[in-house]
Structure 1
Amino acid sequence: MSSPQGVTNPSLDWRISSRCNGGGCVQVAFADNMIVVRDSKHPDNGMLRYSHSEWLAFTRAVKQGAYDLA
């Protein structure tokens, strides 16, 4: 598995939501000064990385229902 540029810790502590039922879930890890996200079904297919401020903006929007399906 390749690490995103700037991630130096090869043994990331991946977290997954307790609401994940084995379906299309994402895993999240905190590394250096960023948040790293990957697909739980295909963990070797790469990762996305976000700054703390980007992740905070995303999680706030989720909590406010910005991505809820009608």
Structure 2
Amino acid sequence: MTTLNWKTSTRSNEGNCVEVATPTPMVMVRDSKDRQGSVLSFGAGQWAGFVRGIKGGKFNV
């Protein structure tokens, strides 16, 4: 398996964040506090839609 380049947002505070890796054509997400735990994977289009939703305020509670 290829080593993934995990990235954490520069806006992350106190480790309460997710990490993202982008091995084409997938986007993989994991909890930054549990790096050995589960990893979610999404197609690039799904991830782009999710990011658009966040930027558009769809998930504000």
The answer, yes or no, to whether TM exceeds 0.5 is: yes
| Equivalent AA in structure 2 for residue 53 of structure 1 | G
So what's the TM-score if we normalise by structure 2? 0.90
Query: Percent identity between the aligned chains?
Result: 36
Choose from 17, 35, 52 the match for 1:60. 52
- The amino acid across from 1:51 in the alignment is G
Q: 1:3 — aligned with what? A: none
Residue 40 of structure 2 aligns with which residue? Answer: 48
1:23 CA drift (Å): 3.5
- Distance in 2, matches of 1:41 and 1:49, equals 18
- Name stretches of at least 5 consecutive residues in structure 2 with no aligned partner: none
The structure with higher relative contact order (CA 8 Å, sep 6+) is 1
Listed as ranges, the gaps of 5+ residues in structure 1 are 1-7
- Runs in 1 of length 4+ with deviation above 4 angstroms? none
Give the RMSD, CA atoms, in angstroms: 1.1
Give aligned pairs, total.
61
Per-residue deviation at 1:52? 0.5
TM-score, normalisation: structure 1: 0.80
